[in-house]
Copies of this chain bind each other. A is one copy, B any other.
Amino acid sequence: MAIGKLVIVGAAGAVGRTLLELLEERSIAFGSITLLGRSSSVGETMSVGGQDCVIEELTPDRFRGTDVVVFCASADVSREFVPIAREAGALVFDVSSAFRMQAEVPLVVPPVNGATLANHQGLIAAPNCSAAILVTALAPLHAACPLERVTVCTYQAASGAGLRAVEELSAQAAAVLAGKKPPTEVLPHQLAFNVFSHESAVDETGMNLEERKVIEETRRILDAPTLPISVTCVRVPVVRAHTEAVHCVFREAVSVERMQTLLADAPGVWIVDDPAASHFPMPIEAANRNEVLVGRLRADPGAPEGRGLALLISGDQLRRGAALNIVEALEMMRH
């Protein structure tokens, strides 16, 4: 697949910027590129492969003659414009949650389930960031030894709430250090020197939307539609990588050594597990990397009959958690 005309919607956002970085890093070739956005970002100049590129206004007539459109904006924008882009004949990639749970839309973390790309019908979705990072570590384990249940508690970075949240985290930290009241215009609470339950809406069952995405999308990507998953999503004052404490129970007894071997051989995983140096996955080391860091692998004595494994994982929210899945899918489909 050669990409002639490429369009990126939402290029000025955190995911859009990371997508542009990855296209350049991985030398993805295309004939022309158009950056589209709405309101505040229109007119902004961004660098694409050393060339300046001005963000133009997103309107319904911008998709004619395009080969590939990547949506890196909100689910609302995707709901409105993805059908128009498909209608215009473009192959569409969507990072938002708008179409992720539709059966005919592949939901891809390419090293995990890239084979599902073969069945696409013009639209391919990338998963929620926490789910993408989680399945990268769980998939190789589950393939070898089926999971019975999983409990996940997240330590999610500000980047998941967008670039303005990242800027506000810094401004908050500076304010707190200066003894001033921290600004909370983007984030619902002070995040600097604090943690809070993920800000997405809580439904009538008490679950927040982020937790629902982790459960539903993890099940879908692992092809384990009834896997019991318990999850609590929490924001922490970190810039851009998400960390997750994971407690797994498998259907049969497992050995830590075997699990470690499986993970060491798994694509997209980097083992960081040095107890003597107290060196385990940390978001400052996962940031700006493509691999998910995995460590603190240990038997979980709280699980029954030797069937438990606990681990700590950390992955870049904008790369493995978002844009990298699009770029890897493009690479797979090109071959």
Please report the C-alpha to C-alpha distance between residue A282 and residue B199 in the assembled complex, in whole angstroms.
12
Q: How many residues of A contact B (CB 8 A)?
A: 59
Interface of A is mostly: mixed
Chain B: CB-nearest residue to A249: B230
Contact between B228 and A302, CB atoms less than 8 A apart: yes
B-facing mask of A291-326, CB < 8 A → 1, else 0? 000011111111110001010100000000000000
- One of A20-28, A101-109, A114-122, A239-247 at the interface: A239-247
Chain B: CB-nearest residue to A237: B237
For the complex formed, measure the closest distance between the CB of A317 and the CB atoms of chain B, giving whole angstroms.
13
A202 CB contact (under 8 Å) in B215, B230, B231, B278: B278
Please report the C-alpha to C-alpha distance between residue A170 and residue B247 in the assembled complex, in whole angstroms.
32
- One of A2-10, A40-48, A145-153 at the interface: A145-153
Contact between B197 and A312, CB atoms less than 8 A apart: yes
Please report the C-alpha to C-alpha distance between residue A263 and residue B153 in the assembled complex, in whole angstroms.
22
Give every chain B residue within 8 A of A239 (Cβ-Cβ): 193
If the complex has contacts A149-B302, A173-B177, A312-B234, are A275 and B193 also in contact, measured as CB distance less than 8 A?
Answer: no
List CB contacts (< 8 Å) of A250-303 with chain B.
Answer: 256, 275, 278, 280-284, 295-303
Number of copies: 2
A303 CB contact (under 8 Å) in B230, B256, B310: B230
Give every chain B residue within 8 A of A205 (Cβ-Cβ): 298-299, 301
A194 near B: Cβ within 8 Å? Answer: yes
Q: What is A's interface to B at a CB cutoff of 8 Å? A: 149-151, 153, 155, 169-170, 173-174, 177, 188-190, 192-197, 199, 202, 205-207, 215, 228-232, 234, 236-239, 243, 245, 247, 256, 275, 278, 280-284, 295-304, 308, 310, 312
